[in-house]
Each structure stands twice: as C-alpha cells, then as structure tokens.
C-alpha cells in the first residue's frame, strides 16, 4: 500500500500546495480527505508523529522505525478507527498507550518486536493483527476485554501454549490464525487442542508441535489426547497447603466426594478438598492428574468454582478416554 507516494500525492491533492493547506498534517505525511486519512508510511520515523489532526480516522505508519508507544501519545485521536503500525521495531507499548481510542476497530502491529499482547486494548477493537512478533504468552486479562474482536492474527510468534479459556471470552471471534508458533504438545496445550477440534470458526488448523522432541513436526490435531498428555487420563486429586501448618491453627477441612467414575480397570474417585476456614492461606494447589492450579485462597467461593471447572475438565478427559480408548 504505497499509493500516497509523492507522484500519487499530486493527483490526490491536486497540487502540493493544497496538501499543505490541509490543517496540521505531520511533516512528511500526506493527509488526504481533509485529514481523515493520515499517511506516514516509510518515512524513517522513530516515534509517533506530532500534530496528527484530531479528526483522523485512519493513521498509517507502516514501515517506519518506531520502537515505543508511550501512554498518552494517541490520546487525542478519539475518532481513530484504524491504526497501522506494521513493520516497525516496536518493543514496548505502555499500558495506557491506547487509552481514549474508543472507536479503534483495526489495529495492525504485524512484524514488530513485541513479546506480549498490548495491555488495555480498546473494547471496540474488531481486528487485531500481532503476527510476526515474538509474543510468548497470551494474557487472559488483555484478551478478555476484547468483546468485539472478530479477527485475531497471532501467527508467527513464540507461543508455546494458550491458557485455559483464552478464547472463551471472545463472543464475536470468527477467525484466528495461530500457525507457526512454538507449540509444545504437552498437557498445557489440551485447551487449545479441544478448542480447535470443536471447529467453531474459520481458521488454519495446521499447528505443528516443536516440542517435546518425539512429537516435533507432528500436526497437533493428528495426535490423540493420550499421546499429548497421558497423565490427564488418571485424575487423582489432592490438595497441598503451601502455608506452614505450624503458623496456622489446624484447618477444618471439608471434604466431599464429587464424582466417582469407573476407569477401565479400577475405580477412581475424584475428590475435592476445599479449605474455607483459613483466610490467611495464600495458595491452594490442586492437582487433578497432571494439572497444577495455583489459586489465591482469598475467596473460598472462587476456589470452589475453579476446582469445579478443573474437575469437570478432568472428568471430561476421563470420559473421552473411555469412549475412545
Ligand atoms: C469525531 O467524529 C464525530 C462524528 O463523526 C464528529 O462529530 C467530530 O467532530 C469528530 N471529532 C473531531 C475532532 O473531528
Ligand atoms: C495464517 O498464517 C500463515 C503464516 O504464518 C499464512 O501462511 C496463512 O495463509 C494464514 N492462514 C489464514 C487462514 O489466514
């Protein structure tokens, strides 16, 4: 998209003088359509341009050398719907950088040097392209605010797995590209595996494992749950209390048998132990089979909910195993 190079500029703006007369166009940029469109591609910019017209709806900054996006830098551009920062060298985006961009729908950060998803992305966002960076983890908090997100491109990054429930909070999502990441085909990837199998949206499903060694170059979806995570099929639940028992009065532990299910050979009781009597307890670890969940034990309600969902997962894996041995 280099259609506003100087030659074209003359055509678009009738004369360079007309272009200059458009109010406060950042130097070197082109601002056709009365500043609704601000084109600053390939100008060697090292930071965001100053004096971008407040009316700007599309700001295109691809192929520059921008390294940081700071809080407040874009704050006044409340009418911005499209921001293109493709192929810069952005390493960091401050948490407040997109504050005030309440109409932003399309954000392209492809081909930068990000290692995390930007925080506090506007809820208005519909299309997010962060492909070709080195994002190594998906932050659930950042993702969960994106209630309008329809297209997510996060291919060619450094993801090793996706946290449980990552995509469950994105009701409008219809297209995701996750190819070309560093998928580790072990227990932690089961959420993604099952989500892909549910096949609810248009997406590339050719995700290759990079680890463990014996599964390298295998297609994730060609593998069985058993091959990915043998332990998940043996749900044994126990609780470890991290706090020292000496400094606390003995906890009253309420124990309930939630579900008893029949394994192929032996009876496996899936048990839940919830300690709701010790408010100073910092962490409760729950190990259903291979999973480890660390939960701040501030709110017993939370623990209970979390444990339930963990156990439900364990149960359904268990069922899967029984129906497809
Ligand atoms: C933003 O858009 C609204 C609605 O189109 C318009 O009324 C307002 O003047 C615009 N703001 C600026 C600063 O141009
Ligand atoms: C997903 O991204 C890869 C590059 O990593 C690209 O080749 C492929 O066409 C994309 N697939 C879709 C469905 O967009």
Co-location of 245 and 190 in the same domain: no
Residue pLDDT tens, the chain, 325 long = 434 443 334 334 444 444 444 467 898 999 987 779 999 999 999 999 988 999 999 999 999 999 999 998 898 999 999 999 999 999 999 999 999 999 999 999 999 999 999 999 999 999 999 999 999 999 898 898 999 999 999 999 999 999 999 998 898 999 999 999 999 999 999 999 999 888 766 676 789 999 999 999 999 999 999 999 988 765 554 444 444 333 333 333 333 322 223 332 332 223 333 333 333 333 333 333 333 333 333 223 333 333 333 334 444 444 444 444 3
Co-location of 254 and 199 in the same domain: no
Co-location of 181 and 90 in the same domain: yes
Handedness of CA 34, 37, 41, 45 (dihedral sign): positive
Does residue 61 lie in a domain region?
Answer: no
Residue 224 contacts by C-beta under 8 Å, 6 or more apart in sequence?
A: 324
Is the distance from the beta carbon of residue 1 to the nearest atom of ligand 1 less than 6 Å?
A: no
Co-location of 78 and 137 in the same domain: yes
Cα 27 to ligand 1 centre (Å): 23
Co-location of 169 and 280 in the same domain: no
Does residue 50 lie in a domain region?
Answer: no
Co-location of 182 and 240 in the same domain: no
- The pairing of strands 127-129 and 82-84 is unpaired
Co-location of 178 and 101 in the same domain: yes
| Ligand lying closest to the C-alpha of residue 53 | 1
> pTM of the predicted model, to two decimals?
0.69
Co-location of 78 and 180 in the same domain: yes
- The pairing of strands 209-211 and 202-203 is unpaired
CATH number at residue 74: 3.80.10.10
At 92-141, the pLDDT tens digits run 999 999 999 999 999 999 999 999 999 999 999 999 999 999 999 998 98
Does residue 19 lie in a domain region?
Answer: no
Residue nearest to atom 14 of ligand 1 (CA): 55
Give the separation between CA 127 and CA 144, rounded to whole angstroms: 15
Q: What are phi and psi of 108, to 5 degrees?
A: -115, 120
Total domain count, the chain: 2
Co-location of 71 and 161 in the same domain: yes
**Which atom of ligand 1 lies closest to the CA of 54?**
13
Is the distance from the beta carbon of residue 24 to the nearest atom of ligand 1 less than 6 Å?
A: no
Residue ending a domain, choose from 228, 260, 277? 228
Does residue 136 lie in a domain region?
Answer: yes
Residue ending a domain, choose from 178, 197, 228? 228
**CA dist 287 → 38, 84, 226, 273, 292 (Å):** 54, 44, 18, 11, 5
Cα 166 to ligand 1 centre (Å): 35
Co-location of 130 and 218 in the same domain: yes
Give the separation between CA 213 and CA 185, rounded to whole angstroms: 10
Residue ending a domain, choose from 228, 254, 289? 228
Range of the domain at 237: 232-323
Residue nearest to atom 1 of ligand 1 (CA): 79
């Amino acid at each position: 998209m280099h259609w506003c190079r100087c030659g074209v500029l003359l055509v678009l703006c009738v004369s360079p003088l007309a272009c200059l007369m458009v109010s406060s166009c950042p130097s070197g940029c082109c601002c056709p359509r009365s500043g609704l469109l601000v084109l600053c591609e390939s100008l060697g910019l090292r930071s965001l341009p100053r004096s971008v017209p407040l009316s700007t709806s599309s700001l295109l900054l691809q192929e520059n050398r921008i390294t940081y996006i700071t809080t407040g830098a874009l704050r006044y551009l409340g009418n911005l719907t499209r921001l293109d920062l493709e192929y810069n060298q952005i390493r960091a985006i401050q948490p407040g950088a997109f504050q005030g961009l309440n109409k932003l729908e399309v954000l392209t950060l492809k081909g930068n040097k990000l290692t995390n998803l930007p925080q506090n992305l506007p809820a208005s966002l519909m299309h997010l392209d962060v492909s070709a960076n080195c994002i190594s983890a998906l932050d659930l908090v950042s993702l969960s605010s994106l209630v309008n997100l329809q297209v997510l491109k996060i291919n060619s990054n450094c993801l090793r797995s996706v946290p449980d429930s990552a995509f469950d909070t994105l009701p409008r999502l219809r297209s995701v590209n996750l190819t070309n990441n560093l998928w580790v085909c072990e227990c932690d990837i089961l959420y993604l595996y099952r989500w892909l199998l549910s096949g609810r949206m248009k997406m590339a499903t050719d995700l290759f494992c990079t680890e463990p060694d014996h599964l390298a170059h295998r297609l994730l979806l060609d593998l069985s749950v058993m091959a990915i995570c043998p332990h998940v099929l043996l749900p044994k639940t126990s609780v470890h209390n991290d706090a020292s028992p000496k400094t606390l009065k003995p906890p009253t532990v309420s124990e309930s048998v939630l579900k008893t299910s029949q394994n192929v050979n032996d009876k496996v009781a899936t048990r839940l132990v919830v300690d709701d009597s010790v408010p100073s307890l910092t962490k409760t670890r729950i190990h259903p089979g291979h999973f480890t969940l660390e939960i701040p034990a501030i709110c017993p309600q939370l623990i209970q909910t979390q444990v339930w969902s963990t156990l439900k997962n364990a149960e359904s894996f268990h069922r899967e195993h029984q129906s497809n041995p």
